[in-house]
Each structure stands twice: as structure tokens, then as C-alpha cells.
A and B are shown apart, each in its own frame.
Chain A
């Protein structure tokens, strides 16, 4: 049987940054196998789909995310891209860091679970990811930074400028992987505002910036290869099982890294008979809701990129003892206010709340070893309490701005596209599945990567943090 030094599952952010660091630190004779369940669905072919142009057959028949798992009674969608590059293909490119207090919310606020690492430990890896992704960001931020962002910030709109003047570092140009100037294979963002698939290839993706790791002579990549099981022996992973073109394969390695998404990392562990009580449990994501501010005598124009700013005024503080932290996003899509003479006298804000992982929300096995099932009963009341106070908070925070009317959606968006916390990290196996180095508490040659390891999810976008965690894990281990 073939044996590799390292086998990595998946090619998204978590896997790719882990592989990048591993290759940097390893000798030339190492052999790495990467197993990707999907296909390479290039940016150019994705654009053809959006433009109603003819695509080749292999792209027409690709698998959609909703065909890969069974959803339970609650039909809440869990959205991702099951192809090469994973959700780098469909993310918006928002890259705020977590705040230092996010790592200790149990100690500070008595809710959720602390991380077994601190902000300071992760800081160098945040910087490394930001430099590699060529993040555009402001000079002043609500989180400490050891180095400025590599690219200048996106431009604030007229509305954002008022808020930045008032709230300073708590209302900033959003740190983003939507480049403000051409870099590498990426063009400058020009505010097309359809970032799920950038028409000018500006946002960072694995395909446009990290694909080279898969061309390294030490690396072999196999497509359409779905890993679904592990063979264990004496608290070690001995081999991994995957299906390709209807056939099962078993393959051995010294070290394994699960970098599928949090649903499938948990599913693989459950299929392997992992007895950790937390495996698969805690599934959650943030909850978001829109608010429209109808402005008096102010056209909201001149901003760049799809989301111009992040507000941190409702993020950290004593309120987290009883209600969820919230991050604000200021949108710059070409929305209009349908009133003559007031066409753009409007701001569209999204308020995004953290949820608390709850063991009742989980990934479970089904009769089909390739398909997990989601059992989701809903978000924590912690989120609802924050939602209940939102109108009062909006009135308070924006009272200095000339506003004619505040229009609240008062319902949550179906998804924030951030699946988290099914294999949480912890100091002991009682509280989580992996340790502070992202190594499984029981299987010591197995890394579990991605946002599934987040003990608390914070309201901020997870990609930068999960990428930094991958760099840290590989840096410490190899």
C-alpha cells in the first residue's frame, strides 16, 4: 500500500494555508497527497455560467452543496462550495480580525467557552495571512496589530465618513481581501458588488493566489475523491478511506489533516468511531439582519467595494454577559430608495450577531456513509436578546446623523455562510475535540482544521482567523 508523509483532505483556506506552511518547513523528499471531493471549476468557467454562456459538460454536472448532506426538519441552509478552493470561490472577502477579548468570553463575560490560545499567540499568523492575501485595510483598528496592512484601505462613503469621525477606531474601512490595487494575478476591486464571483478577479481565492502549492513536486492532488472514514490503531490514524468514481480506496500516511468544512470534518470523525462527546456538536453560525436608514439631505455615495465599513460599537463590552456581540457592515451595493429626489439618500446596514455553540445543534451519521445529516434546533436566546435591543441601539448610535426614518427588517437572514464549531478546540478532551495545536485530543497524528475548531464564533468573519490557525498549527508541528 502507498504511504505518504502527509494526507490533506480538502483544498479550501484551512487546507491550503496548512499545506503552504508545511511545504515551507519540510524537506524536498516529503510526499503529500491532497484529496479533493470536487473538481477544479475555474473562475473563467464560473463567469461563463453567470453570463449565460455555454459551458463544457464537466462543469454543467458539478455537485451542488445541498446534494452533499441531509438537512433535518429545520431547513436552515448551510452553504459552501464543494470544489477546488472551497469557499474561497464564493466568499465576499471580508477579513476583520477577532478581538483579543473574543478568546476569553467565558472568563470575561461568563458565556460560551474560552479559547485555549490567546490573541497574542495568533497575532504573528494574522499578520502573515494578511501579508499573503494582500489585505486592504485602515491604519487604525479596534484590534492591536504589529504591522500595517499591505494595501491601502477601501474608500469610505459620505455616510461612513460621518460615522468614522464620530466613532474613530470603532467604525473603520472594512479590512478586506478585495484588493485596492492590482496584485499578483488579481485586479483592483472596482465595486461591481457581486463578490461571490468577482467579475474582475480581485478578491483573494485559492485559485488565483495559492494554487502553486498544488503544483509543488512533493504534492499529488486527486479530484472527485471524497474522504469519508479513517482507520484507527492505538490512538493513531493508520489510514484514510475515500471513494473515487464509485470505488473505495484506503491509503496510509504518517500524518493526516482534515481540512474539509466543519460538517464533513465532523462526519469523517464520526464515521471513524470517534468517541469524543463533543464531536459533531455545537454547529452554528452568526445571524444577520438588515436595517435601512432613510437619510435626510445626504446622498450615500463615493465608497469603494461591496461593503465599505465595519462598525464595532456593539461588539465588545459588558453587554456580552447577557446578549450577543454584534459587528456592523455598511453596504455599497447599488440599492436605491424608491422616492423621487431621494434615490440614494439611504444607508443599508447589516447587523451580524455571534451565536453560542450549543450541543443540541449537531452533525450526525445516516445510513449513507457519504452523507451526514444536520440536526439544528435554532440559535441561542443570547442572539434574540441582542436582536430585541437592536432598534434602541440603532436609534442611540445613529442619532447624530440626519435620519428621516429607520426601517428594520426584524428577521434574520437565512445564512451568513459561516459554518462553525463542530470540532471545538479546548484544553481538555472533556470540553472539545482538538487541542491548541489543532491536533485531535485522542488521535495524535491527526490535525482538524477550519472554523469547526472555534470554541466561540464571535460576530466577525471567520476566514482570516481559520487561515491564521492553520499556519500556526503547521508552524508549531513541523
Chain B
């Protein structure tokens, strides 16, 4: 092998290892933050509201309870590898997990209580937990009487 080819391959391999390491070991909360910011880009969300949400999720160790290690890996790899032409296996699980992440943030805010009004700025209220705040399912008849 020519020296130039060897260096090229070695650089490629090293880049792959570095990328894999980053995907596998990036702080999970950072990834959650990226997902929420990206998926709520069409809404009026101040980053400070997202900060308040993550302060509570850290306090109550939400992410590790919600997503065991294997699920976290599914989220990590899909987030970075999926593209319009290619998707890793278990994409339906990834979609479900991603909906849970964004859903938890929005349920913890006043977005659904305000009937999904995209013109109103979103305010973080408290971490959505039916055991702390029962009767707060914002899609129920309590919030949509008589539909």
C-alpha cells in the first residue's frame, strides 16, 4: 500500500472511531435538548423555558428512567445517522421515543392547555407527572368539554 493511501485510510478509520465515540458518549441531555429545539422550531419557545424543563428532568432523573441504555443508543444513532435516503433499523421505535421526548416537554408547558395556539409564547409550567398533578391530560374532556 502506498503511504498516501495508508494515511488516508487511517484518517478515515480514526474519524469513524471519533464519530462513533461522540454519538455513543455525548451527554444524553444535550441530545434531548437538540431534539426538542429542532422539533419545536415552528413554535414560540424561548430557550430559557427549555432550560427550566431540563433543570427539572435532571433533578428527577427523568431520562434514565424513561429511556434505558439500549433505548438511548437507538435515539443517538438514529439522530445522527438517519437521512432521507437511509434509516437504521427500529425506526418506528425511534419515532416513538422522539415523540415521547418532545411530548414530555410540550405536556410540561402550557402549549396544549392553550389549545396548541402557535401564536402564543410557550411557558414551562412543571414536569408533567400525573402522580403529582392528576387530571392534567390536556386532550381529555376536562379540557375539551362537549366536543
Contacts and interface: CB of A to CB of B under 8 A. Distances in A.
B139 A300 contact: yes
Interface string A329-355: 000111111101101100000000000
Interface stretch (B13-21, B80-88, B126-134): B126-134
Contacts of A333: 137
B1 interface: no
Contacts of B128: 334
Contact of B137 (A52, A332, A337): A332
A51 B132 CA distance: 7
Contacts, number: 94
A345 to B, nearest CB: 10
Interface of A: 47, 50-52, 155, 157-158, 190-194, 197, 199-200, 299-304, 332-338, 340-341, 343-344, 407, 409
Nearest to A50: B131
Given A158-B147, A335-B103, A304 B131 contact: no
Contact of B135 (A191, A197, A300, A336): A191
A200 B42 contact: no
Contact of B103 (A158, A338, A409): A338
A44 to B, nearest CB: 12
B130 A193 contact: yes
B102 interface: yes
Nearest to B116: A343
B87 to A, nearest CB: 14
Contacts of B52: none
B141 interface: yes
Contacts of B41: 340
A304 B103 contact: no
B98 interface: yes
B136 A302 contact: no
Interface string B99-124: 10011001100001000101000000
B44 interface: no
A341 B111 CA distance: 12
Contacts of A336: 99, 102-103, 106-107
Given A336-B106, A343-B116, A301 B144 contact: yes
20 contacts: A190-B134, A199-B134, A299-B116, A300-B139, A301-B139, A302-B139, A302-B145, A302-B146, A303-B139, A303-B140, A303-B141, A304-B141, A304-B142, A332-B137, A332-B139, A334-B103, A334-B139, A335-B99, A335-B103, A338-B39
With most chain A CB atoms within 10 A of its CB, the pick from B118, B141, B143, B147 is B141
A340 B44 CA distance: 12
Given A192-B135, A300-B139, 9 more contacts: A191-B137, A191-B142, A302-B140, A302-B144, A302-B146, A304-B141, A334-B103, A338-B98, A344-B116
Nearest to A343: B116
A312 to B, nearest CB: 23
B60 interface: yes
B50 interface: no
A331 to B, nearest CB: 11
B140 A191 contact: yes
With most chain B CB atoms within 10 A of its CB, the pick from A155, A191, A337, A340 is A191
Given A47-B131, A192-B134, A193-B130, A304 B99 contact: no
A181 to B, nearest CB: 13
A34 B74 CA distance: 49
Interface string B16-47: 00000000000000000000000111110000
B43 A340 contact: yes
B139 to A, nearest CB: 5
Nearest to A194: B130
A302 B99 contact: no
A409 B106 CA distance: 24
B137 A192 contact: yes
A332 B146 CA distance: 16
B113 to A, nearest CB: 12
A50 B60 CA distance: 12
With most chain A CB atoms within 10 A of its CB, the pick from B41, B106, B137 is B137
A125 B125 CA distance: 48
A334 B105 CA distance: 12
Given A50-B131, A199-B130, A200-B134, A190 B142 contact: yes
Contact of A341 (B42, B137, B144, B145): B42
A51 B131 contact: yes
Nearest to B40: A340
A302 B130 contact: no
Given A191-B142, A301-B147, A304-B140, A334 B107 contact: yes
Contacts of A302: 139-141, 144-147
A420 B116 CA distance: 44
